Structure 1
Amino acid sequence: MTTGQKIAALRREKGMSQEALGEALGLSRQAVSKWEADQAVPTMDNLVELSRLFGVSVDTLLRQEEALPDKAEEAPADVKITAEGLKVSYAPALTKNTKWFVIVVAVLIAVSVLGNLYALVWMRAMQAQVGNLASQVAQISAQNRDSSAVPQSGTADGDGLTDYDVVYQLKTHPNDPYKQFLQISLSAYPANARPDAERAKFIMRSAGEQWTCDAVWQKEGGYCAETEIPLKDSMDVVLMLIDRETDAVRTLPLEKLDGLREEFSLQMDAAWVDGNGITSTDQTTTVKGRLSCRVSHTNTNVDGGFPYEPERCEVLLRQDDKILESCQLTEQVFDEEYGQVYFYGDIDWEAAVTRDQVTLAVQITDTSGRVQEWPIS
């Protein structure tokens, strides 16, 4: 029997509930439940208290090969053994033989405690190794999934998922056009769903960060949720199912998403097709000519060119954070064959600053409200 099974059997033999045992030890019912489900191991102090309460040795509780006695043996009425510091105190009526008996018992308990401590350390080391192996297996499994299409969907066999969907789109913060986030719609259909007996959460993990949202059970079956998270280049999406009574957890991987930034990134090339471009003297910088800006997608595998169309192209002349001049390029041509957009415009500026004091940049705003900027020479 495991330690948890022995605690459960002894508790029932005493006619105690999990809550009553927890109160006797100054703990919660959930802590007792995790012991009995072998999801946690009692501390040494708790093991000593359990040993005292149930009338069995700590060694009997920890060692699986050690069977429970038919009836717990009680210590002699005139002998008092305290756990603190493994000290032995003698009642006044003890005889010499009884004193030696108590000393032998104390030595045996000390040996047992040391053995149990070694077993506990060994057990926790093995649990850590098993946890690391499980994490590596889950990570390798998630990496082997195909995540090239948008939206993402797939199926799983066995006790995992029968179906799932991960649909996402880019959103821009209304007060900060340079700040983007993902709006995600999630649905999952576990093979053995128990909505009345478990709580469900969707979890998204990326480079040590984690975002969680509660999942709602649909009448037609399956869990669903919608949430918003910062735009990251990659993330793992899982469904976590938590037993309402025992807090036991099932984690079902949905998808590993990669290359998200690339899916929504643009690239820009600018060239002067007429005029002198940007020139300067000792005191003046002149920007004059016809400028062409070509905007294309960084991910050539995205069908249809752009998930979000370039909507506005503006050229800016800056001195530090101050905008000296600006001009919107209004002429727009779309090249369907190569999925590129060309913006054209005429610029005629003169600023009373030197060339090394200013920067020239092109700013693109797309239909999601996102702003991207590139310096040009």
Structure 2
Amino acid sequence: MTLGKNIQKIRKEAHLSQESFAEMLHVSRQTISNWENSKSYPDLETIVKISDSFHISLDILLKEDLVMVKTFDSEVKSTRKYAKALTIIASAFALLVGSFVIYSCVYFHTKSKLEGNFAEQLQENDFYKNRDGYYSMNYADGVVYSVPNQSMPGLLDFTLNFHLSNLYCDMELEDTYVEIMWRDSHEFSASAITKKDNKVVGSTSGFTESDFADAKKLGEELGVSEEKMSEIIEKGNELYEDFYGKQ
């Protein structure tokens, strides 16, 4: 017996007209007629509703209707594939949201730690804000250390460090200015520039790694005594660690 005939049998045994049956299933009377004459089939949801409403198993309802069984099977498989796809998408979304929440917690913790330490070092080392917006410290006569006005990049920049982790030292000598810049712990570059015509008269651009550890060679290149050069570099390394060592 086809599904259409089964639907007709169910309707008649329940003493329902096509109109009443259609109203119950929220379809038109013509739709019921088409089902019963096998001109069309109800969708999967409606078949399940008929099965539940009249307490008839799907096996009995679909028995012998091979076309509908194949259609029903196809719809079930499609539904399962769709459900599986939704599950995968939902899992991926949940993982993404969870990862972002964890990253946000780490970011705000790091921001608080780094910016707090930066503010603390400014105060402990008596740095003041200069006209260029940097913070400076007068270390000795003619020797000034400076750092940028630091703040963490925004949350969506996805970085857990300051963009610019530099320390500067400017030394004013009799005829020249000496500029030293730290880019990392114990890693710096330096140059000596004449006051008269801004000519570079000394530079570490050609130095090897071992040369940077030689205070005498550094001093000779920049026109600074070995003792003073050693003191300036040691203080710079110390300040760099104080400001950026916790990154």
TM-score, length basis structure 1: 0.21
More strand by share: 1
The structure number with the bigger radius of gyration is: 2
